[in-house]
């Protein structure tokens, strides 16, 4: 008896272990960077040493490794240069500018003295990628130590990173160090850099930057030696004496996938505290064009509170807004934005980039493969936040602009499936419209399919379950399915994996024996559940809801003030659907498809019919 209890306990353990494993097949690599860099502000060059502890959590034995050397893209003849001189609609900041860079203006990043666990490893530089033939294979579960020296030159600001940007900020230091490519279930992501998205390994950064004492430095990490560097970091009452020699700034950034810093001698550094949240740091060049930065801290405190409440709690203790770069770009715990802006634009860009902390910084999707999951979701969330900050009483749809952007893509025939790799879009216009506009529409339209409450519950659950990982489209869809109880694979297959469009119309209205029949037609290739509002001449409103068979269920009633009538499911193979309304036509004032205006119907002109109108 005793033995059998023991045996069954063991069996139970084995079984339950299997169950846990089946659910947690997910794995990700782990990295710790220790970087020390000496920066020369006269030559714009820097030399450094980097020690990496890399843990292979994959089930594979690795014999190679790849590092990104992004600076090398800023050289005449580089892939990024050629791409921007040959694509039909080059980015206006780039065009042929790389081809004209002088030796003092180009960027470079070269690695030497590369060792793995003390043994020399062979390295080959192929423009923006360093290939490493490992000295010994890294087995599953093993940790290797890489050491290397590097020498870099910060390019004149063209795109994202660089020196001396259009507003005179000296250094915008993003993608500046040899950055290990991510290895995931798809293998290595050693794509050459041609000027777009990023993807990195999760881990801890320990960074020491030694630079001219007049410079103020801010970026991704927490300062470790505030009372040595001063410049607004020091504790209250501490006086930091001015140094004539270079200062070493020591930062630590835990659990991030990248590290950015900006530096300028004119930076003003101010902070603001979000109650129960992070300390916000702002670095900008004071002047008439940056006057509105004085108003920014208080507004961003309010924005961070709204963001954390609605989309999940921001987990770091700090966020830095650094003037620099060429527009706005997100990095872990920080952003680089251009600063000469009026208040609306300044808040707009700061809210957008701060929200990338959620959709990219913390939910580290592969931006190259799924740009809509970071740009689109960020646009959706920041549209909502801007609405809350500046227009809380208006009933205007905050996502209206995103729908317009998506429709323009169809009108201009630049639409491609959202499964395209960011670098491989035929046009920049097609990429932007898909990543930003259609990505935001994807979420807003999902609220139409599963209900607004389910969508927001799903967004918070997605954030909590997938933070500090690399979620994929399927991971998001699965959470939305669990929250709503509906099947949603069809939504991804049509809206993400294809360029099918939505068009429903009211085809005909007939009356028979005192009852009205509305014939609805699916004119587009993409099926959708239908909401059809019927308003009577006595101004009673009934919302008829027609789910799709393929959804295997219904969303809950959203607006309790309107009568809600669930109709028979629509099988998508039928191009038309006949809806019976238990009223004579003489009592009906109007019928309208999608009155909440959340469906991305490409032809809205055929969605509504009016009757019995006196005027």
| Residue numbers at the binding site for Zn ion (CB under 5 A) | 375
Q: How far is the CB of 161 from Zn ion (least distance, A)?
A: 16
- Rounded to a whole number of angstroms, the minimum distance from the CB of residue 352 to Zn ion is 6
d(CA 571, CA 254): 50
- Residue showing tokens 């870099």: 152
Nearest approach, Cβ of residue 416 and Zn ion (Å)? 19
Using DSSP's 3-state secondary structure scheme, residue 9 falls into helix
CB 351 → Zn ion: shortest distance, Å?
11
Give whichever of 178 and 439 is closer to Zn ion, judged by the CB atom.
439
Q: In what order do the strands lie in the sheet with 222-223?
A: 119-120, 108-116, 143-153, 45-55, 30-40, 203-211, 247-256, 222-223
Residue 16 parent element (H or E)? helix 2-23
Phi-psi group of 230: left, alpha or beta (phi > 0 → left; psi -120 to 50 → alpha; rest → beta): left
Of 132 and 440, the one with the shorter C-beta distance to Zn ion is 440
Q: Which residue is nearest to Zn ion (CB)?
A: 375
What distances in angstroms separate CA 390 from CA 275, 292, 379, 387, 588, one per listed residue?
Answer: 21, 16, 16, 6, 39
Whichever of 68 and 196 has its CB closer to Zn ion, that residue is 196
When the beta carbons of 389 and 509 are compared against Zn ion, the nearer one is 389
State in angstroms the smallest separation of the CB of 97 from Zn ion. Answer: 22
User: Residue 389 or residue 549: which is nearer to Zn ion going by CB?
Assistant: 389
Would you list the DSSP string of 523-548? -SSS---EEEEEEETT--EEEEEE-B
Q: Which of 182/375 has CB closer to Zn ion?
A: 375
Q: How far is CA 192 from CA 130, 179, 368, in A?
A: 10, 13, 11
Minimum CB separation of residue 172 from Zn ion in Å reads: 16
Residue 345 dihedral angles phi and psi, to the nearest 5°? -70, -40
3-state secondary structure of 63: strand
Q: How far is the CB of 504 from Zn ion (least distance, A)?
A: 32
- Residue pair 29/54 in contact (Cβ under 8 Å)? The answer is yes
Q: Which is nearer to Zn ion, 336 or 520 (CB)?
A: 336
Nearer to Zn ion (CB atom), residue 105 or residue 375:
375
How many Cα atoms occupy the beta-carbon half-sphere of 93 within 13 Å? 18
For residues 530 and 524, the answer to whether their CB atoms sit within 8 Å is: no
- Least Å distance between CB 356 and Zn ion? 6
């Amino acid at each position: 008896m005793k033995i059998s209890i023991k045996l069954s306990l063991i069996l139970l353990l084995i079984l339950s272990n299997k169950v846990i494993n089946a659910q947690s097949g997910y794995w990700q690599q782990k990295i710790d960077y220790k970087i020390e860099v000496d920066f020369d502000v006269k030559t714009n060059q820097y030399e450094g040493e980097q020690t990496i502890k890399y843990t292979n959590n994959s089930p594979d034995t690795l014999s190679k490794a790849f590092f990104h050397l992004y600076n090398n893209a800023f050289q005449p003849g580089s892939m990024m240069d050629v791409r921007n001189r040959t694509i039909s609609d080059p980015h206006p900041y780039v065009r042929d500018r790389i081809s004209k860079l002088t030796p003092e203006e180009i960027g470079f990043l070269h690695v030497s003295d590369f060792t793995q666990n003390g043994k020399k490893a062979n390295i080959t530089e192929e423009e923006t990628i360093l290939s490493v033939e490992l000295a010994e294979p890294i087995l599953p579960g093993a940790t290797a130590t890489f050491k290397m020296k590097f020498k870099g030159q910060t390019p004149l600001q063209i795109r994202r990173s660089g020196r001396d940007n259009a507003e005179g900020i000296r250094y915008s230091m993003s993608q500046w160090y040899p950055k290990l490519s991510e290895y995931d279930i798809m293998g290595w992501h050693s794509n050459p850099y041609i000027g777009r998205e990023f993807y990195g390994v999760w881990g801890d950064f320990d960074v020491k930057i030694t630079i001219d004492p007049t410079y103020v430095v801010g970026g991704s990490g927490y300062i470790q030696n505030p009372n040595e560097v001063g410049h607004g970091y020091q504790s209250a009452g501490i006086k930091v004496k001015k140094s004539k020699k270079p200062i070493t700034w020591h930062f630590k950034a835990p659990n991030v996938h990248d590290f950015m810093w900006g530096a300028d001698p004119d930076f003003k550094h101010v902070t603001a505290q979000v109650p129960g949240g992070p300390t916000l740091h702002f670095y900008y060049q004071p002047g008439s064009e940056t006057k509105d930065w004085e108003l920014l801290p208080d507004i961003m405190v309010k924005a961070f509170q709204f963001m954390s409440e609605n989309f999940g709690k921001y987990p770091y203790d700090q966020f830095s807004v650094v003037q620099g770069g060429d527009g706005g770009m997100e990095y872990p715990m920080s952003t680089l934005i251009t600063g000469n802006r009026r208040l609306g634009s300044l808040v707009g860009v700061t809210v957008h980039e701060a929200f990338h902390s959620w959709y990219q910084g913390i939910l580290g999707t592969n931006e190259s493969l799924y740009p809509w999951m970071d740009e689109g979701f960020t646009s959706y969330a920041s549209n909502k936040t801007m609405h809350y900050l500046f227009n809380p009483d208006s009933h205007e749809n905050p996502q209206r602009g995103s729908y317009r952007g998506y429709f323009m893509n169809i009108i201009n025939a630049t639409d491609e499936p959202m499964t395209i790799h960011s670098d491989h879009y035929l046009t920049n216009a097609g990429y932007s419209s898909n990543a930003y506009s259609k990505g935001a529409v994807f979420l807003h339209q999902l609220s139409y399919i599963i209900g607004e409450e389910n969508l927001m519950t799903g967004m918070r659950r997605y954030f909590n379950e997938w933070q500090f990982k690399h979620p994929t489209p399927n991971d998001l869809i699965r959470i939305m399915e669990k929250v709503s109880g509906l099947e949603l694979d069809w939504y991804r297959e049509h809206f993400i994996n294809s360029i099918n469009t939505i068009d429903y119309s009211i085809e005909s209205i007939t009356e028979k024996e005192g009852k009205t029949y509305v014939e609805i037609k699916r004119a587009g290739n993409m099926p959708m559940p239908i909401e059809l509002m019927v308003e009577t001449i006595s101004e009673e409103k009934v919302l008829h809801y027609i789910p799709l068979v393929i959804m295997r269920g219904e969303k809950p009633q959203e607006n309790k003030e309107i009568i809600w009538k669930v109709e028979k499911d629509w099988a998508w193979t039928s191009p038309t659907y006949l809806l019976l309304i238990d009223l004579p036509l003489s009592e009906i004032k109007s019928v309208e498809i999608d009155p909440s205006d959340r469906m991305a119907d490409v032809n809205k002109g055929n969605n509504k019919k009016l009757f019995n109108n006196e005027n």
